[in-house]
Homo-oligomer: A and B are copies of this chain.
Amino acid sequence: MSILVVGSVALDSIQTPFGKVKEALGGSATYFSAASRLYNDVNLVAVVGRDFPQEHVESFRQWGVNLDGLQVADGKTFRWSGRYSYDMNSAETLDTQLNVFATFHPELPESYKESEFVFLANIDPVLQLEILSQIRKPKLTVLDTMNYWINYRKDALTKVISAVDIVLLNEAETRQYGNTFSLIRAAHKILSLGPKALVVKKGEYGAVLFANNGDLKDSFFFAPAYPLEKIQDPTGAGDSFAGGFVGYLASRKSTSMDDIKRAMVHGSVVASFTVEDFSVGRLRALTRDQIQERYLDFKRFTNFEPTCPWSDSCTHLAPCEGAVASQ
């Protein structure tokens, strides 16, 4: 059950109140890969320039990421430069140099076409559609985008939204696409186009899931953000959320609503590690055990009724054997 990701691999220069980095490894496909490789095999489709440092290629190799789809083009690698103030929920872009990314035309190696879990990171929706049409039998397709494409490629974007299973957007993008201040109404507009679910990312306020299965009561789920005392750099939080989200579902070989809820929590857990360091610093050292530990923390942070320790093996047909009144 391999995962396919198409998106950017970039060199990021970032300032936050807590430090800065220059030309560090970044890009949507990078953050996604660094996270999802902890769950499953990853096939990367992206482009870099001739100047892309070999050590970063080695990083992808160490993570076990399949690089057959990584093009090396004449020219310079995509560069992004941004700054965050104390409100870490949104970045101020200082400079964008598309370089080789401007003429990027993704091509799928033959072996990638069997990928079953697909993440279309934030690129031109026209290219996202091309990719989609090449996948033979996707089990789950997940889409990300940004305000730029909502402004300038809304028709193509609407086509991709209609074609995928799950859409990931941040709060402002959801309202912008839906053209309404009401998040719920905007969500319903997006779901009416066809996707099974919409995940709205709210930064430090967590993420909410709207699912396309009728009554709101059965189609809403909320995952808070992990409480962190110090955030170094929020860059990549959304893409690594996607990495934990898609990665978990691929590892479970599932697209059930129950697993999608748990995938939201995995996304939040992975994103909480990402922001603790610049670039992919924290993701490099991350382990499944550390993910599991914070996953259990999330249970404590959100459960207000006791959960059954036997739930994995039981259908609750009767009270527990030897049950005694607890209070």
Contacts and interface: CB of A to CB of B under 8 A. Distances in A.
Contacts of A223: 304
A244 to B, nearest CB: 13
Interface stretch (A36-44, A45-53, A70-78, A314-322): A314-322
Contact of A314 (B221, B301, B326): B326
Contacts of A228: 184
A288 interface: no
Contacts of A304: 221, 223, 258, 261-262, 264-265, 298-299, 302
A320 B317 contact: yes
A152 interface: no
Interface stretch (A3-11, A141-149, A305-313): A305-313
Number of copies: 2
A321 B321 contact: yes
Nearest to A87: B181
A196 interface: no
A109 interface: no
Nearest to A204: B183
A223 B222 CA distance: 9
A262 B315 CA distance: 25
A261 B202 CA distance: 23
The residue among A181, A223, A303 with the most chain B CB atoms within 10 A of its own CB is A303
Contacts of A229: 182, 184-185
A36 to B, nearest CB: 19
Given A227-B208, A314-B326, A324-B315, A300 B217 contact: yes
Interface in A244-278: 258, 261-262, 264-265
A214 to B, nearest CB: 13
B326 A315 contact: yes
Ordered nearest first, which 3 A-B pairs have the shortest CB separation?
A308-B308, A314-B323, A306-B311
7 contacts: A205-B205, A298-B304, A303-B303, A306-B307, A314-B323, A314-B324, A317-B322
Interface of A: 86-87, 181-182, 184-185, 202, 205-206, 208, 216-218, 220-224, 227-230, 258, 261-262, 264-265, 297-326
